[in-house]
Amino acid sequence: MQYIVLIGEGDLTLDSVKRLEHYGTTSSHDVPGIEERYWVNYGDDYIYYDYEVNLANEYEAGELDVIPFKSPSFIVMSYSSEERLLSILRQDNFLKGIYVDDDYGNIVPIEEFIARFDEFLGKRKRQVILSDKRRMNSISRRPYSL
């Protein structure tokens, strides 16, 4: 399970996420027994949204200086599929004006995160395709034995 942190002004809450239309879902609901967690099921993969009240305390001095919010709110978005994450963030109705912490030292506006993540996934797919082509080429050069 991987995650990013959505950072917005103080009015960013789980209700902000619940009000969204989650395209392609099979179900979505609060998770019983876990306060401030919302689960969105897409069948083969899923997303958990966790509202974190005190997450600002986990950041080191200066890390949050890049965000423009006076009273930031934090939602941890845990995902099981990178492709699904990207498709959700690209939805025309997804949260606007927020920042994303990718947990690799980058806190950027959501638009920049989407562009970087899309580029990352594209490069990785190209590497897999090249690797598969090289493997197929090496197999096709092997002498056949009867």
Is 142 strand, coil or helix? coil
- Give the span between the Cα atoms of 92 and 70, in whole angstroms: 26
Beta strands in the chain (DSSP E): 2-8, 27-30, 37-41, 46-52, 73-79, 99-101, 107-109
**pTM beyond cutoff 0.95:** no
Q: What is the mean pLDDT of the segment spanning 71-75?
A: 95
pLDDT at residue 53 greater than cutoff 50: yes
Q: Strand, coil or helix: what is 90?
A: helix
pLDDT (tens digit per residue) in 32-49:
999 999 999 999 999 999
